[in-house]
Amino acid sequence: MPNSWSSSRLDLHIDLDTTRGRRAGLESALRMAIRQGRLPAGSLLPSTRGLAQELGIARGTVSAAYDQLVEEGHLTTRPGSGTIVAGRAHPTPAPTRPAPTPVVPRHDLRPGLPDISAFPTRAWLAATRRVLTHARPGVFGAGDPQGRIELRSALAEYLGRTRGVITTPERIVITSGYYQGLGLLCGVLAASGITTAAVEDPGHNVFRGVVQRAGLSTLPLRVDAHGARVEALTSRIGAAMLTPSHQYPSGVPLHPGRRRQLCAWARTTGGLIVEDDYDGEYRYDRQPIGAVQGIAPDQVVYCGTASKTLGPALRLAWIVLPPHLVPPVVRAKQEVDLYTETLGQLVLADLITTHAYDRHIRATRLRYRRRRELLIDRAAATPGLTPHGVPAGLHTLLTLPSDGPTEPELLAHCARHGVALRGLTELHHDPADRPQGLLIGFAAPSEHTYPAALDALFTHLTTRRGSL
């Protein structure tokens, strides 16, 4: 008969088969739980009195079963500590092909990663306390697939104030990260009859894959010193997906003339602009460039995220939509995961409304600016490396000389020495005959490890070809 018992606030279900007697059945049930790993080494068992009461059997029967398992080496007793599991008598054989252990680089200089050691823990805890102190019971119930109104209201104010976005809470949908939001949007666009989306070349290959898996074909828009060449857009293209404030990976902003040309294309053809403002808060030489959405709010879907400002583990992002797209995107969100986790939304809303979010961004902006300057200075002192892009974002693109080590050679060499980077060629639609380069993220290392990371990077970038 199945029974559950509890001790030290731990519940465990055991199958007690008494056909061969209660003691034998208890011994067998505990032995099986230990062998299966449900009672791992060090687990505390309940007292003989407590387990006897839970199972409705004599205390002497439980004591005898414990004694037998102690003799077998399954259990051990410690004065004052009770009876605990000593270990598995029959360890599970090791798998023939153990899963590879992820290699953690000593210096993580991959692009797009913030300094998670600078996460505003105190502010987040204070906001969490305020949220939980004033939370009504309904907060712990089912959520709204569109997102909590508190966060949508806070974002409407914040985005208008800092990014020039024109919106209301009703036009915002909260998603579990930008990856999910883009997938939802592309699925809606494909269902509406759109077949082709223009994407930047080079651009983020992971998100290009999201677009393609939704059923849209992708048309590359070449990127030059003025951003995406939007003159290539035609009426047969249903959507254009861009990073206009800080193009990924080149780091250039979309030229004002091209912004106007892009919005004119959307108005005259009915095309949709999808604006990924992934690091728009981080401009170091001047005020961040405003969002394209503020120029054409009915033709632009604006996408933002907390993954670059706070941390990707939060899985909090937002989409600002033209009114006609709100209902289908909300339905798509509901079909995928019902709603995004609620408490994190409320905490972020509190951070925004109390301006703790602004203070965190200003602090990290100063820190990242200093790091970028150090990187640019080191690159300028290294022959053959050419930095690209405006002072913004969380990464810098360095193109390589044609007569030195190749991009794959440098990436492999740096990886062997614990320095993680990303290459440029994989971000092109067609990597053949394209410039080779390295994307250097300057945000991910902690403040005290960043100088060592730069030293390691340039030590290995200046290694001669013969030693690679």
pTM equals 0.85
The pLDDT assigned to 2 comes to 53
Rounded distance between C-alpha atoms, residue 97 and residue 395, angstroms: 37
- Using DSSP's 3-state secondary structure scheme, residue 200 falls into strand
Task: Encode pLDDT of 93-146 as tens digits.
Answer: 555 666 666 667 899 999 999 999 999 999 999 999 999 999 999 899 999 999
Q: What is the pLDDT of residue 323?
A: 98
Per-residue pLDDT for 442 more than 70?
A: yes
Confidence bin at 5 (pLDDT 50/70/90) = very low
What pLDDT is recorded for position 101?
A: 61
Structural tokens at position 468: 């690679």
**CA nearest 189: which of 165, 217, 229?**
217
Range of weakest confidence among 48-57, 234-243, 350-359: 48-57
pLDDT of residue 73: 87
Compute the distance between CA of residue 91 and CA of residue 40 in angstroms, rounded to an integer: 11
From residue 426, how far is each of 178, 431, 435, 439 by CA, in Å? 21, 6, 11, 11
Bridge-based pairing state of the strands 437-441 and 419-420: unpaired
Per-residue pLDDT averaged across 318-341, rounded? 97
Instruction: Please report the sign of the dihedral spanned by the C-alpha atoms of residue 175, residue 181, residue 187, residue 193.
Output: positive
| Domains of the chain with bracketed CATH | 2-85 (1.10.10.10), 107-112+359-467 (3.90.1150.10), 119-357 (3.40.640.10)
Q: How confident is the model at residue 92 (pLDDT cuts 50, 70, 90)?
A: low
3-state DSSP call for residue 441?
A: strand
